[in-house]
Structure 1
Amino acid sequence: MTTANDLSQISEKARSFIHSQKGLFIDGQSRPASDGSTISVVDPSSGEEIARIADASAQDVDAAVGAARRALTDRAWVDMQPYRREALMLALAAAIEAEVESLAEIETLNSGKLIANTRLFDAELPVHSLRYVAGWASRLNGETMNLSVPYLPDLRFSGFTKRYPVGVVAAITPWNVPLCMAVWKLAPVLATGCTIVLKPAEQTSLTALRLAELCAEVGIPDGVINVITGRGASAGRMLVEHPGVDKINFTGSTEVGRGIAISAARSFKKYNLELGGKSPLIITETADLDQAIPGAAWAIYGNSGQNCCAGSRMLVHEKHYDAVLSGVREIAASLQLGPGLDPASQLAPLSSRMHRDRVALHVDAARAAGADVSGGEAVDGPGSYFTPAVIAGLDPDHPTAQEEIFGPVLCAFSFTSDEEAITLANQTRFGLGASVWTRDIDCADRYFDALQAGTVWINTHNILDLALPFGGDKESGVGLELGREGVLAHTKLRSGVKAHPKMR
């Protein structure tokens, strides 16, 4: 197999950006880190450095938050009418749309993902996200109401509410869907009149920096959008703890999210956390196997398993268990590994060698426990390739079956009744997503009500829409993104009471 991306395949625009000097984007300007520190950016298909980014210091974080706070009171932003914020968002969507191919190429080189995926999810979906959320800019409203005030029966009052921007938002995004997640966090900021300091994952910061340039090009005022690059343990932590931040919007691991919640509680910052998952995929006795088998395979192997909602626990009715297990294993064995820019590739490398080693440890632990494992091997040579794994015969309480692996690793279990399946599905500390596969609508309704997950899919998996709120139960997070709820989470509601003179 061809293992490394061929940089001669990419456009001149993508190549020029990859080779350009990259700084922090603060107050409308690119600048190096104050101490000159940089971080290497590596292509996961080859393990070779393709660029360097700035590593933000405490001084840089303070400057970015300061710029966001100033912009929050700048009349150019504060007094901007909602229709003009909407127009800016639509202009940004058009600017991204004009660069879909180069953005996808940059993302593939940076993240290792398949070019088809980066084009669809990292370049095209942000365009739709901005266009959907832009409409909310002119639809944010309060309410008016007649008040009773029963303890003052001789007086008359009316009540009203009004929404205001929540303030400076610190947004921290993961490495698995970099540009898409950056825009998901940016869009409600622009629609509601907030300002933002965005810190992308240090492994995949390139498209966030290009996004910042496009924001400036379409005329978004200086300081409204700031991008700092750097390590999560330093720049990310300093951003979360900064007293000038009003809200934290984080997507990443449960362990880091827990630390953010503790930090935010000390100063009563608002926060939204979209965290880990160990999502069950349940194939019932009434499932259509022609639909469910490939659905189960791609629920875990899409994006090489690097999805927070990946269907990593497959629960199959005993009647179909052998057929489903065989079918999924056949698909897994047929997938062609290769670099993201190669259109023949069906499974791309994992994000890094370090991450691949972590994934491999989980599979090795399952083997050591006596499980029946197919696949799950690191590929010799350059890059961070890992063959898709199917694990059967593992105790449901084993760490490999309970912890988020974030790789192409599927654990399969059988059940004899719907009640047993529901118990197994909910037997986890996570609650982000779940799916049920059935041709029986009553069966689907029972599972929908019983599963402990923020999103439950029926006869599909991992489908998100911009109009539908997304979030997790249990240790999978706090709060919601997307939809009306995701926009309103960037506002604060103020109540008012007006006394009316007595009628003569």
Structure 2
Amino acid sequence: MGTDAKGAGVVKRLLIDGKLVEAGRTYPSYAPATGEVFGHAPDAGVAEAEAAVAAARRAFDATDWAGDRELRVRCLDQLHQALVDHKEELRELTIAEAGASRMLTHGNQLEAPIKIVRYYADLLRTYPLSEELGEIEERGQRHRRWIEKEAGGVVAAILPYNYPNQLALAKLAPALAAGCTVVLKAAPDTPLVTLALGELIAEHTDIPPGVVNVLSSAEVAVGEALTTHPDVDIVSFTGSTQVGRQIMAAASGTLKRVFLELGGKSAMIVLDDADFDAAAMFAAFTICSHAGQGCALTTRLLVPRESHDEITAKVAASMERVKYGDPGDPATYMGPLISEKQRDKVHGMVQRAVEAGATLVTGGKKVDPGYFYRPTLLANVDPDSEIAQSEVFGPVLAVIPYTDEEDAVRIANNSIFGLSGAVHGRDQERALRVARRIRTGTFSINGGNYFAPDAPFGGYKQSGLGREMGVQGLEEFLQIKTLAAVVA
């Protein structure tokens, strides 16, 4: 980890056209566990964004990258090895800058994302880039027809702050496997983690200049430049639904392909035959994972009306056992929120929920120093209220009573979102029947884990467009060309 001459903490550089460069100015990155400046990132402007797009365009149009499968496999192998070799440096950086708990870095914050690169390197070795459609006879001649799958072009990949390694690699690895070139824009709150990835690419792989460019910026104009640039063919964005709508509108000017992984307000349904103790613990610890800063977390807990108080008490008891604090401590389960601004947003929503009639069972308090917020449980929540309809992005669980199974399904589907969900019940067939009625892109039955490199991830409704990871994640970055030739 580099420090500047004044000892101001970690300092990283942009990657543009194969060179690690500084910008004319920097901005601070804060450690959310302390609220103190952790390091400084280059504050790229529109000029740097345009230079990065130009480099990506040249690399796509004027080099063999898109057509050389062997080169792409070798480079992905090298990237995977570099990530493995520098895993501990990345771990400490992720803990410090993202506020991720150390135990989470052994899963979806770091080690699981590294496996995504391995998955796409292996998939590229065997994935069929052509498909025969067979011959037909037309006008007295035989015609051979086939499909070829080609790289989609220049990709602008725009990241949020919550899982910087996961989201960067879930975009970058399949894009590179497909033969695309990429401009990767870090989240303003976690720039150093993403810039570190750029440094590994520059220093430890044979990825040609311009194929991967990595930017950090506090300027909204940089994101706007990437989403509207005529030389960008595909926009891959993860973030809020509100910003996703803006990106989709901006991309329409040049009819770019758009992948959007957006917000969620997922419901966990506890059926009347469920193991209430297991379900309560699952619900409590899920909402506290990464301080609730996950779009697919189940933030609404739907419980039988007659068991509302019993289950609420069990969830509250489990929440009291959640250890929060220093994310570097191996025993810590939950770290801080990313910023004071985010903590204020979460606290404001909790206060409004109580004013609207919800019962505050536990939590609802800020904890200093840093940006910590106590695990919070709200009961007797109106399913149409703000806290039940809007994404909180904090450790806040809303308990909603339902009358019967039909009512539970109706409430679960009563959302503009459709990213994930869960159901708990001892009758597996009944639980599966309920799962199939919920309009979401992913779903967990009795704690089943759907999140892995080979499993497509994405949402229904306003939770987004397209899929990330799996074979489908690769195909987001491919174009289909249909060819025909007269058979001699």
TM-score range (shorter-chain normalised) is over 0.9
| Counterpart mapping for 1:346-385 below 5 A | 346-385=333-372
Q: TM-score by structure 2 length?
A: 0.95
Percentage of pairs with the same residue = 36
Are the equivalent residues in 2 in contact too, given 1:389–1:409 (CA < 8 A)?
Answer: yes
Q: CA RMSD in A?
A: 1.9
CA-to-aligned-CA distance 1:289-347 (integer Å, 9 cap, x gap) = 24212111122111111000111000012354332211110111232321211223222
Q: How far apart in 2 are the matches of 1:449 and 1:18?
A: 52
The runs of 5 or more residues in structure 2 that have no matched partner are none
Q: How far apart in 2 are the matches of 1:137 and 1:463?
A: 22
Are the equivalent residues in 2 in contact too, given 1:281–1:434 (CA < 8 A)?
Answer: yes
The reply on whether 1:73 has 2:44 as its aligned counterpart is no
Q: Given the superposition, is the C-alpha separation of residues 240 and 186 from structure 1 closer, same or farther in structure 2, using an over 3 Å criterion?
A: same
User: Which of 89, 109, 133 matches 1:102?
Assistant: 89
Q: How far apart in 1 are the matches of 2:402 and 2:10?
A: 55
* Corresponding position of 1:273: 260
Q: How far apart in 2 are the matches of 1:37 and 1:14?
A: 17
User: Which of 160, 169, 192 matches 1:174?
Assistant: 160
Matching residue's letter, 2:14 = L
User: Which of 204, 213, 217 matches 1:230?
Assistant: 217
Equivalent residue of 1:121, what SS? coil
Equivalent residue of 1:156, what SS? strand
* Corresponding position of 1:449: 436
* Corresponding position of 2:480: 493
Q: How far apart in 2 are the matches of 1:408 and 1:19?
A: 29
* Corresponding position of 1:7: none
* Corresponding position of 1:416: 403
Matching residue's letter, 2:21 = R
Q: Given the superposition, is the C-alpha separation of residues 491 and 380 from structure 1 closer, same or farther in structure 2, using an over 3 Å criterion?
A: closer
* Corresponding position of 2:107: 120
Shift of 1:101: 1.6
| Counterpart mapping for 1:13-412 below 5 A | 13=1, 19-33=9-23, 36-80=24-68, 82-138=69-125, 139-148=127-136, 152=138, 154-216=140-202, 217-231=204-218, 233-412=220-399
Q: How far apart in 2 are the matches of 1:402 and 1:193?
A: 40
Shift of 1:179: 1.2
Q: How far apart in 2 are the matches of 1:485 and 1:271?
A: 14
Q: Given the superposition, is the C-alpha separation of residues 371 and 79 from structure 1 closer, same or farther in structure 2, using an over 3 Å criterion?
A: closer
CA-to-aligned-CA distance 1:340-362 (integer Å, 9 cap, x gap) = 11223222111100000000011
Are the equivalent residues in 2 in contact too, given 1:201–1:232 (CA < 8 A)?
Answer: no
CA-to-aligned-CA distance 1:181-213 (integer Å, 9 cap, x gap) = 111111011111111000010100112111111
More divergent stretch after superposition (133-142 vs 323-332): 133-142
More divergent stretch after superposition (442-451 vs 394-403): 442-451
Shift of 1:380: 4.8
Equivalent residue of 1:197, what SS? strand
CA-to-aligned-CA distance 1:4-33 (integer Å, 9 cap, x gap) = xxxxxxxxx587998353232101112222
Q: How far apart in 1 are the matches of 2:448 and 2:376?
A: 19
Q: How far apart in 2 are the matches of 1:42 and 1:20?
A: 11
* Number of residue pairs aligned between Structure 1 and Structure 2: 484
Q: TM-score by structure 1 length?
A: 0.92
Are the equivalent residues in 2 in contact too, given 1:470–1:480 (CA < 8 A)?
Answer: yes
Shift of 1:78: 4.0
Shift of 1:89: 1.0
Q: How far apart in 1 are the matches of 2:8 and 2:230?
A: 34
Shift of 1:467: 0.9
Shift of 1:278: 0.1
More divergent stretch after superposition (369-378 vs 190-199): 369-378
CA-to-aligned-CA distance 1:231-256 (integer Å, 9 cap, x gap) = 36221111111111000000000000
Equivalent residue of 1:267, what SS? coil
Q: How far apart in 2 are the matches of 1:464 and 1:204?
A: 23
CA-to-aligned-CA distance 1:399-458 (integer Å, 9 cap, x gap) = 111000010000001223111100000001100001111121321232122101011111
Q: How far apart in 2 are the matches of 1:135 and 1:380?
A: 45
Matching residue's letter, 1:313 = R
Equivalent residue of 2:150, what SS? strand
Q: Given the superposition, is the C-alpha separation of residues 380 and 131 from structure 1 closer, same or farther in structure 2, using an over 3 Å criterion?
A: closer
In the TM superposition, structure 1's runs of 4+ consecutive aligned residues that sit over 6 Å from their partners are 14-18
Shift of 1:169: 0.4
Matching residue's letter, 1:493 = I
